[in-house]
Chains A and B, each alone.
Chain A
């Protein structure tokens, strides 16, 4: 098989085209959102949020079957409920917001697993947790297109507001920026994209497509614009590679994409010339050599 065939042959199938399209679209928006989540230290909160979508999806599936719009609304409601619920708990009780969020999402996730395990076949549970490449319908692809387009549009229009809110929210507020709106907007876009990533990546792995490219790019870039661009490039390349790996090695698509991203992250962690582990260790050794102890 020529390399040309190796890369292109799988995409003769309609489901592979849709899978690649969906992964690429979500990589585009996820790469952008991931940078903001990472820099605002919301990475773990995003992870919690993605887990908490499960009961919404499960209930929607129970009542309406595999309808994209029902699943979407269910997940959205569950996400909002978690965010609002933890905000309420932290205001009304002694419990702090991170603990509230952490407790709530576990309960939500448990409820989701409970509901799904009552379904006749186990396939559905696995499908929602880890994604199913065969399940990307034309409607799912449209949803991915709309969320990705909306995310990119928001980043293009409000690039400076997003930069300012991420870097220095106090200054943003002091100069008349809509700080609360920007914060809520990022969370809302995150939920939207997580839901759209459901079919390909599953609730557990979806955040990987957001966070891993951002963290990898963070090790190479010293400018916000470059960070966003590299993060998107890494996300796009790894989603394509992951889909191919998933096809040839017949492993779950979400897992394959996350593993590809993992390889890039590992390489970045080790080899980044300025912020990587190897550079730090070399610098340390050079410093040690530089010190001459007098006897």
Chain B
């Protein structure tokens, strides 16, 4: 594994508004993500998986600590982030074709009124070809299979020329075949040295797809190669602690006393 750490978290703490009594969503997280690794962010609901992704993107302010993106390697001085939204947040009836969605990956590098340059078109075509979407490029996005729909957004991230890919629950709502497809793509990306960070709900799924893991329960439970992270002890700790964090004061009522 490369010695470069493309993402470094130091003592990262995120607290949402006073409404939740200052309960931190992420607490004292310190961990490094190696360049080119395929990492699953794991943990129970409310463990801070999405918060971590949002913190990397700079959408939630850090109460404490810092996130360093990039390393000394000259090509990684300013890595670009690509973010994949959850599937249910997309309006699949939107009047837009596959190619237009992938072209959106080029928008950030253009001035608002500037047209796409030949180089942009080339990148779009390459992204479409790599994810095998050439044949359906002019279809409206509703007319695709679930796996194809997911690949459209992966292609947009590729066209962006991103170095770090942040995926929020990429496997949610996919059928078995599409899961296989996405697994294959993520593995080949890993082989090509692309850094992927994905919030994943299922532990079994994570075991089958990912090489590295980051187990959260508001605090970091474990990080590293997946087999060392997902030990019985760690999983138990993560899922039990999460319950305590949610509801520290409520005792479990004794059985048989309900009226």
Contact = CB atoms under 8 A, between A and B. Distances in A.
B89 interface: yes
Contact of A168 (B81, B90, B160): B90
A171 B100 contact: no
A218 interface: yes
Interface residues of A, number: 26
A2 B85 CA distance: 59
Chain B interface size band reads 20 to 34
B96 interface: yes
Contact of A164 (B59, B90, B104): B104
Nearest to A162: B112
A221 B95 contact: yes
B94 interface: yes
A160 B107 contact: yes
B237 interface: no
A121 interface: no
B113 interface: yes
B57 A174 contact: yes
Interface in B70-128: 81, 83, 85, 89-91, 94-97, 100-101, 104, 107-108, 110, 112-113
Interface in B139-154: 140
Interface stretch (A80-88, A188-196, A222-230, A257-265): A222-230
Interface in A238-289: none
Contacts, number: 62
With a 10 A CB-CB cut-off, give which of A166, A171, A223, A224 has the most chain B CB atoms.
A171
Contacts of A158: 112-113
Contacts of B81: 174
A222 B83 contact: no
Contact of A223 (B89, B90, B95, B112): B95
A227 B112 contact: no
Interface in A167-190: 167-168, 170-171, 173-177
Given A167-B91, A226-B95, A173 B104 contact: no
B162 to A, nearest CB: 10
Contacts of B89: 168, 170
A39 B85 CA distance: 18
B91 A223 contact: no
Given A170-B89, A174-B83, A160 B112 contact: yes
Contacts of B94: 39, 166-167, 224
7 contacts: A160-B112, A161-B107, A167-B94, A168-B85, A171-B104, A171-B156, A175-B108
Interface of A: 39, 156-161, 163-164, 166-168, 170-171, 173-177, 218, 221-224, 226-227
Given A163-B96, A166-B94, A174-B81, 5 more contacts: A156-B113, A164-B104, A164-B107, A167-B104, A171-B104
